[in-house]
A and B are shown apart, each in its own frame.
Chain A
Amino acid sequence: VGLTVGTETSFSKTVGELDVHGYAGLSGDQHPMHVSKTFAGDFPGGRRVAHEALLVALMAAAASRLALQQSEPQLAPLEIDVRFDGRVPIGETVTARARVASAATSRGAVLDVLCEDERHVPVATGSIVMSGLLARDG
């Protein structure tokens, strides 16, 4: 059992209006860089950008999908390290990737994760430790 080193998964998502405003609502992060066109217009790029932490959600989702694909539903994110390397304007399509870097550390399996934009430039990179937290009997 456990995740296989070197295996990976990815999925792509166009970050839309609803994603950003939905994220603003459920997080409570209403920073004008995310929700105000006029504020964002004064900055490089000139467009509203997604919350950086939304990229964490996408990377964790990729990690979660990888565990499910390998029939390890008990594995869940235990630890996350992340760096935000770029910004994602609304309308950009982001690809989230997760790859098993090491399967058996004392804490769990370590996944390399990243999000990249349409030009394949990383906008967030990091690692997620997946650990078996749940005892299932069915």
Chain B
Amino acid sequence: MSGRSPDGLDVVSLGDQATISRTVTESDVYLFAGLSGDMHPDHVDGASMRRTSYGHRVAHGALLVAYMSAASARFTQRFTAPTVSYGYDRIRFVRPVFLGDTVTVEYTISSKDEQRVRALADIRCTNQRGEVVAVGTHIMQFLSSTRDTPDG
């Protein structure tokens, strides 16, 4: 450890990780449909989905983004430096997630931008068979201890 106070980027190291797992239930998907306003039949019309190659209703891709943000929040619990979510790059939904699937999100610090005081994290979501269902990169913005807001 350096003698500096545990503030800003000093509190994270490459490879640091947080993991969460969630079983996707019908109530999750219907609550998500209601609060997002996304009532696409892929998520809420089982009869229609039985006529597709998937055969069943699938979770919203953006529900996986909710799990990504939860993994990020879990990660930030290990330190007190204030952070905000600056954004996500190249989130890709590569496989469907069905009701009853269990999604595990691995959030791993992959690089640090000392200039802009940001940490980048690789995010990998897998299902209960270990198949990747979504990937992406999260950008975590550290705020100064004077609690100002990020300026981009």
* A and B are partners in one complex rather than unrelated chains: yes
Interface residues of A (CB under 8 A from B): 11, 13, 18-19, 22-23, 25-31, 42-44, 51-54, 56-58, 60-61, 64-65, 67-68, 73, 76-85, 87, 96, 126, 133-138
> What separation, in Å, do the CA atoms of A134 and B41 have in the docked complex?
12
What secondary structure prevails in chain A residues at the interface with B? mixed
The interface-forming segment of B3-11, B87-95, B109-117, B125-133 is B87-95
Contact between A57 and B20, CB atoms less than 8 A apart: no
Interface contact A79-B66, CB-CB below 8 Å = no
Interface residues of B in 6-43 (CB under 8 A from A): 20, 22, 28, 31-32, 34-38, 40-42
List residues of chain B with CB within 8 A of the CB of A133: 96
Question: Given contacts A60-B61, A77-B93, A136-B51, are A23 and B67 in contact (CB under 8 A)?
Answer: no
CB of B93 within 8 A of CB of A78, answer yes
Q: Is the CB of A54 within 8 A of B91?
A: no
| Docked-complex contact B62 and A84, CB < 8 angstroms | no
Decide: B66 and A51 in contact? CB cutoff 8 A: yes
Nearest A residue (CB) for B92: A79
Inter-subunit contact B62/A79 (CB<8 Å): no
Most B CB contacts (10 A, CB to CB) among A57, A65, A81, A85 go to A57
- Please measure, in the bound complex, the distance between the C-alpha atom of A66 and the C-alpha atom of B138, giving whole angstroms: 26
Q: Does B2 contact A (CB under 8 A)?
A: no
Q: Which of B28, B31, B85 sits near A52, CB closer than 8 Å?
A: B85
